[in-house]
């Protein structure tokens, strides 16, 4: 009495076709398990937790000086006739309690003044990192993300720790 509905030779042929698929599937399962064990960047709840990285703020300063400082916010972020200050107590109090998404969208929708939304999201995130640094907020170990869902979870504090 046979256990299989096909001859042994057919069983060996079919199993040799299935074996590579099982090996591949096993490799994928191992890779997924390994990725789940990788450490993830800590969640940042507020700007006091270090929402940006120092080198990102440096890139943001270069972009700011190129696109935002001349005749508008000035190199020291002090503002002028056509644009408000981006550093200092008035600025921090204006944005305290709001999210970095709110500030990011304001920057993106209004700057550069002559060509809003003309920079990449990464450049806007870099400029935002520079603004945070200029306001004395502490840097962290990870760059400020350019994704809205991440920025939405970070609130703006008036002062760093």
Model-level pTM greater than 0.85? no
pLDDT given for residue 27 in this prediction: 53
The pLDDT value recorded for residue 76 is 79
Smallest CA-to-CA distance from 111 within 79, 70, 76, 68 is with 68
Using alpha carbons only, give the angle 111, 112, 114 rounded to the nearest 5 degrees.
115
Question: What residues contact residue 50 under an 8 Å CB cut-off, 6+ apart?
Answer: 44, 138, 139, 140, 141, 142
In the chain, the largest separation of any two C-alpha atoms, in whole Å, equals 96
Question: Strand runs (DSSP E) across the chain, as ranges?
Answer: none
Q: How many other C-beta atoms are found inside a 10 Å radius of the C-beta of residue 93?
A: 10
- Contact between 127 and 60 under an 8 Å Cβ cutoff? The reply is yes
In this predicted structure, what is the pLDDT of residue 41?
47
| The predicted structure's pLDDT at residue 2 | 54
pLDDT at 22: 47
pLDDT mean for each 10 residues of the chain (161 residues): 58 57 51 48 77 97 85 77 86 93 95 90 97 94 95 83 42
Domain ranges of the chain: 1-38, 47-151
Distance of CA 87 to the CA centre of its chain: 22
* Residue 100: both structure tokens together: 């970095």
How many CB atoms are closer than 10 A to CB 149?
8
- CATH topology for 47-151 is Cytochrome Bc1 Complex; Chain D, domain 2 (1.10.760)
- What's the confidence (pLDDT) of residue 71? 67
Could you tell me which residues come within 8 angstroms of residue 24 by beta carbon, excluding any fewer than 6 positions away? Answer: none
Per-position DSSP letters for 45-71, written without gaps between them: -BGGGT-S-HHHHHHHHHHHHHHTIII
């Amino acid at each position: 009495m046979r256990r299989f509905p096909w001859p042994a030779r057919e069983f060996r042929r079919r199993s040799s076709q299935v074996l590579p698929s099982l090996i591949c599937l096993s490799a994928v399962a191992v890779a997924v398990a390994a990725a789940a064990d990788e450490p993830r960047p800590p969640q940042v709840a507020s700007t006091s937790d270090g929402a940006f990285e120092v080198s990102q703020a440096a890139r943001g300063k270069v972009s700011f000086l190129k696109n935002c400082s001349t005749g508008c916010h000035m190199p020291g972020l002090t503002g002028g006739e056509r644009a408000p200050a981006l550093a200092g107590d008035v600025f921090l109090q204006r944005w305290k309690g709001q999210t970095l998404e709110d500030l990011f969208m304001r920057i993106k929708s209004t700057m550069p003044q002559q060509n809003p939304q003309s920079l990449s999201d990464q450049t806007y995130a870099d400029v935002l990192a520079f603004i945070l640094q200029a306001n004395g907020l502490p840097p962290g170990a990870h760059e400020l993300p350019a994704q809205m869902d991440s920025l939405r979870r970070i609130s703006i504090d008036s002062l760093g720790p």
